[in-house]
Chain A
Amino acid sequence: MRSDIIFRIMAKIMIPLMLVFAFYVHFHGDFSPGGGFQAGVMIAGAVVLYAIVFGVRSAQCIAPQSVVSFLAPFGVMLYSGVGLCSLVFGKNFLDYSVFAHHPKHAHHIGILLIEAGVIVTVASIMIAIFYAFVERGR
C-alpha cells in the first residue's frame, strides 16, 4: 500500500485533521462531548493510520516503542499524583480544592491535570497494543 499515491495524500491530509480534532475533543471536553479518553483513542487512531499507510517502522520513528511504554504508566502516575497532592495538603484523595483559592479555578486545574493523565495513558496503551499485534506478525 506504500506506493498508493491516493492513500498517501489522503493520509497526509487526514492525520493532521485527526490530531487537531483529538485535541479539540480533549480541551473542549468541558463544553462539548468528549474528554481525555476519546481524545486518546483518536490520537492512537491517527498513529495507526500513519502506520498502515507509511509502514510501522516510520510510525515507530514518531512514536517509539520505548517512549510509548514509558508514557503509559506515567499517565496513571500523573492521575494518582494529583490525588496524592490533595492528601499532602490535608484534603481527601482527589479533592481538587487544594490547587487554587477559588473553587472553580481549582476544579479547572484538577480536571485539566487528570484528563492529561487519561489521554497520555490511553493514547500510549492503544498505540502499544497496536504495535504488539503488528510486531508479532514479523
Chain B
Amino acid sequence: MSVVKEVFILSEHLPALIVVTPMISASLVAMVRCGFFAWALSTFVAWVLFSSSVVLLIKIINDGAVSYSLGGWPPPFGIEFRVDIFSAFVLLLVSSIGALVMPYALRTVEKDIHAENQPWFYCIYLLCLCGLLGMAITGDAFNVFVFMEISSLSTYVLIAMGQRREALLSAYQYLIVGTIGATLYVIGVGLLYIVTGSLNLYDIAERLGPSMADYHRPVMTGMAFIFAGISLKLALFPLHAWLPNAYAFAPSFVTIFLSATATKVSIYILLRFYFSVFGAAIPFSQIPVTEIIILLSLAAIFVASVIAVYEDRIARMLAYSSVAQIGYITLGIAISNEYALTGAIIHLVNHGIMKALLFAAVGAIIFRVGTDKLSSIGGLASRMPITMAAFLIGGISIIGVPSTVGFISKWYLGVGAVNAGLWPIALAMMASSLIAVIYIGRIVEVVYFNPVDQRCSGAEEPPLSMLVPIILLSIATIYFGLETSWTADVASKAAEQLLGEVKQ
C-alpha cells in the first residue's frame, strides 16, 4: 500500500525528477570514477528516464498539461516546469535515443576514450542529457538559457573527444558559434524582459500583447534575436557551417546521440517561441518571418543535399543530409497549417530515429574497418550484412520510400503544402528526394556492388552490444512507418495544441 502511495507521490514530481536524476547521477559518476560503474549507472539512468517519460506522456495525454513550480513558488515568481503533449513528446525522443545508444556505448567508448577518462566522459554525457531534457521541460525563458549552456558546454567536450585532431578544431568552432547563438538568445530574452517584466514564457505571452502598443520595436528586435540565436543552434541554412565537421569528427557514439537529439531540442525551443509566445501575442500576419523561413528551408534542402552528393566520407554526407532534413522541419513550421505542423513534429522524431540508425551503422563500420571513406569500404555488405541491411533501411527512409518513417513525415508535409496552396513546394520536396536517392545510392553501390576492398576483407559484424541497438532502431524505422497511429496521433495532438495557442 505504502509503495503505491510513494509511486503516486513520485509521479507527481516526475517533471523535476526527470531533470534532476541525470544531474545527480552525473555527480555520482564523477565522484566514484570507475569506468564500468559509470557505464552501468548511465545505462540504468537512461532507461529509467525513458520509462518515466513514457509515464509522463501517458499521464499528459490522459489528464492534460502539467505545471510544476520549483521551490513551491508559483509562476511567474518562481521557475515553472510546464509539460504539455509536445514537450513530453520531445522528452520521450531525447530519453529514448539516450537509452538506446547506451548499450552501443559500451564497446565504442572503450575503443575511443582512454580508460582513465571514461567516468568523466559518461559524467559529461549525463550532463548533456540533463541539459537537453531541461530545455524541453522548462517554462522559463532564462532557465532555457541555463540548460542550453549545460547541454552546449557538454556537447563541446563530447565532440572534442574524437580520435582525430580535427575534432578539437570542430569543437572550438562549435564553441564560438554556439556561444554567439546563446548570447543572441539572451539578448532577445533581455529585450522581452525589459518590456514585459516577466521571464515565464506563458506570462510573457500574456503580457506581450498589451505592451506591443508602446514597445513595438523592442519586441520585434527581441524576436529577431531569439530566432537568430536559436537558428544558429539548430543549424538552419546558412548558419549550418559548424554542424558537418562537428558530427563527422566526434566519437561515433556522440554523433548518434547528438544528431538525433541536440538540434531537435533547439527546434522545440523555436516552436515554443514561435507559437506559444509570439504567436499567442501577435497575429501571425505581423510576423514577417514565414517567407524567409520557407526560402531558407528550400535552400537548405537543395544546397545541403547537393553537397552531400559530393562528399567522400559517409559521416559528413549524413551530416549534410541532416542539414537538409532540418530544412524539411522548418518548412513545415513555416507553412504552419495543421498537416504541415504535424509533419514537422513527426519529422523531429522520425528523423531522430533514422539518423540515429544511419550514424549507428556508420559507427559500426568505423569500429570494424577504421574509416568511413567511400573509397575504402567497397563490398563491405558481404562482410557486415546485417549492419549494411540496417543502413539500407535508414537510407530508403531518408529518401522517403513508403513503409518507412521518412515517408510518413514527407506525406504530412506534402499534404500540408498542398492544402496551403503551395504546389511548387510539394514538387520541390519530391525533387529533393531524388537527390537523396543519388547520395544514398552512391553508398549502396559501393557497399553492395563493388569488389571487396582489401581494407575491409577482415571486417566482420560488430559485437552484439552494438548490433542490438542498430537492429532495434531499424525495426523502429519500419514499425513507425507502417503503424503510424501512435506517432502521428500524438504529433497531431501536439500540432493542434500549438495552433490552438496562436492568436488569430
- Touch between A and B in complex, CB under 8 Å? yes
Closest chain B residue to A97, Cβ basis: B72
Q: Give chain B nearest CB distance to A84 CB in angstroms.
A: 7
CB interface residues, B 7-52, toward A, < 8 Å? 9, 13, 16-17, 20, 23-24, 26-31, 33
Tell me which of A70, A81, A92 contacts B31 (CB under 8 A). Answer: A70
Chain A nearest CB, measured from B459 CB (Å): 38
For the complex, is B123 an interface residue (Cβ under 8 Å from A)?
yes
The answer to the question of A29 belonging to the interface, with a C-beta cut-off of 8 Å to chain B, is no
Mask, A97-111, CB within 8 Å of B = 1, is: 100000000000000
B70 and A77 contacting across the interface, CB-CB below 8 Å: no
Whether A95 touches B71, Cβ cut-off 8 Å, given contacts A73-B123, A77-B24, A77-B27, is yes
Q: CB-CB contacts of B299-330 with A at 8 A, as 1s and 0s?
A: 00000000000000000000000000000000
Residues of A within 8 A of B28 (CB): 73, 77
The interface residues of chain B lying within 8 Å CB-to-CB of A83 are: 16, 20
B24 lies within 8 A of A80 (CB):
yes
Do residues A92 and B71 form an inter-chain contact, with CB atoms below 8 A? yes
B212: shortest Cβ distance to chain A, in Å?
A: 34
* Chain A positions within 8 Å of B31 at CB level: 70, 73-74, 77
A residues less than 8 Å from B33 (CB atoms): 69
Instruction: Give the number of chain A interface residues (Cβ < 8 Å).
Output: 20
Distance of A87 Cα from B14 Cα, bound (Å): 10
B121 → chain A, closest Cβ, in Å?
14
Task: Indicate if B163 sits at the interface (CB-CB under 8 A).
Answer: no
Chain A residue nearest to B30 in the complex (CB): A73
B362 → chain A closest CB, angstroms: 33
Tell whether, in the assembled complex, residue A93 and residue B23 are in contact, meaning their CB atoms are under 8 Å apart.
no
A93 to B69, CA, bound (A): 8
Q: Which of B23, B26, B27, B69 contacts A92 (CB 8 A)?
A: B69
Q: Which of A70, A72, A74, A87 has the most CB of B within 10 A?
A: A87
- Contact status B70-A93, CB under 8 Å: yes
Closest to A87 in B: B13
B336 to chain A: closest CB distance in Å? Answer: 35
For B70, the chain A residues whose CB sits under 8 A away are 92-94
Q: Tell me which of B20, B23, B27, B28 has the highest count of chain A C-beta atoms within 10 A of its own C-beta.
A: B27
CB neighbors of B among A91-136 (8 A): 91-97
Whether B86 sits at the interface, judged by CB under 8 Å, is no
Q: Is the interface of A mostly helix, strand, loop or mixed?
A: helix
Looking across the interface, which residue of chain B has its beta carbon closest to that of A92?
A: B72
Q: Is B247 an interface residue (CB 8 A)?
A: no
Least CB distance, A60 to chain B, in whole angstroms:
18
Pick from A77, A81, A91 the residue with the most CB of B within 10 Å: A77
Contact pick for B16, options A70, A76, A77, A87, CB 8 Å: A87
Q: Which residues of B contact A92 (CB under 8 A)?
A: 13, 16, 68-72
* 1/0 contact string of B153-183 vs chain A (CB within 8 Å): 0000000000000000000000000000000
Majority secondary structure, B binding face: helix
CB distance from A100 to the nearest CB of B (A): 15
The reply to whether the CB of A33 lies closer than 8 angstroms to some CB of chain B is: no
Q: How far is the CA of A48 from the CA of B29 in the complex (A)?
A: 27
On chain B, the residues within 8 Å of A70 by CB distance are: 31
A80 to chain B, nearest CB (A): 5
CB distance from B181 to the nearest CB of A (A): 24
**Which residues of A are found within 8 Å of B72, using beta-carbon distances?**
91-92, 95, 97
Q: Which of A72, A73, A84, A95 touches B20 (beta carbons < 8 Å)?
A: A84
Q: Which residues in window 84-135 of B have CB below 8 A to A?
A: 123
Q: Which residue of chain B has its CB nearest to the CB of A77?
A: B27
The smallest C-beta distance from B17 to any residue of chain A, in angstroms, reads 8
Contact partners of B68 in chain A: CB under 8 A: 92-93
Nearest-Cβ distance from residue A77 to partner chain B, whole angstroms: 4
Residues of B within 8 Å of A91, CB to CB, are 72
What are the residues of chain A within 8 A of B24 when measuring CB–CB? 76-77, 80-81, 84
Chain B residue numbers with a CB within 8 Å of A73 are: 26-31, 123
A137 at the interface (CB under 8 A from B): no
Docked Cα-Cα span, A73 to B13, in Å, equals: 24
Instruction: Flag if B13 contacts A76 (CB, 8 Å).
Output: no
Tell me, in angstroms, the Cα distance from A97 to B60 when the chains sit together: 28
Are A90 and B20 neighbours in the complex by a CB distance under 8 Å?
no
Residues of B within 8 A of A95 (CB): 71-72
* CA A36 to CA B438, docked complex, whole Å: 58
Q: Are B20 and A93 in contact (CB under 8 A)?
A: yes
- Determine the distance from Cα of A96 to Cα of B17 in the docked complex, in whole angstroms: 17
In the complex, chain A residues 39-85 whose Cβ is within 8 Å of any chain B Cβ:
69-70, 72-74, 76-77, 80-81, 83-84
Interface flags for B215-237 (1: CB within 8 Å of A; 0: not) read 00000000000000000000000
A13 to B248, CA, bound (A): 53
C-alpha spacing A95/B70, complex, angstroms? 7
CA gap between A70 and B32 in the complex, in Å: 8
Bound-complex Cα distance A74 to B28 (A): 8
16 pairs, A vs B, C-beta closer than 8 Å: A69-B30, A73-B26, A74-B31, A76-B24, A76-B26, A76-B27, A80-B23, A83-B20, A87-B16, A91-B72, A92-B13, A92-B69, A92-B70, A93-B16, A93-B71, A95-B71
Known: A70-B31, A73-B31. 4 other contacts (CB 8 A): A73-B28, A76-B23, A91-B72, A92-B71
Interfacial residues, chain B to chain A (CB-CB below 8 A): 9, 13, 16-17, 20, 23-24, 26-31, 33, 68-72, 123
Interface, chain A (partner B; CB < 8 A): 69-70, 72-74, 76-77, 80-81, 83-84, 87, 90-97
Top 3 A-B pairs, shortest CB-CB distance = A73-B27, A93-B16, A95-B72
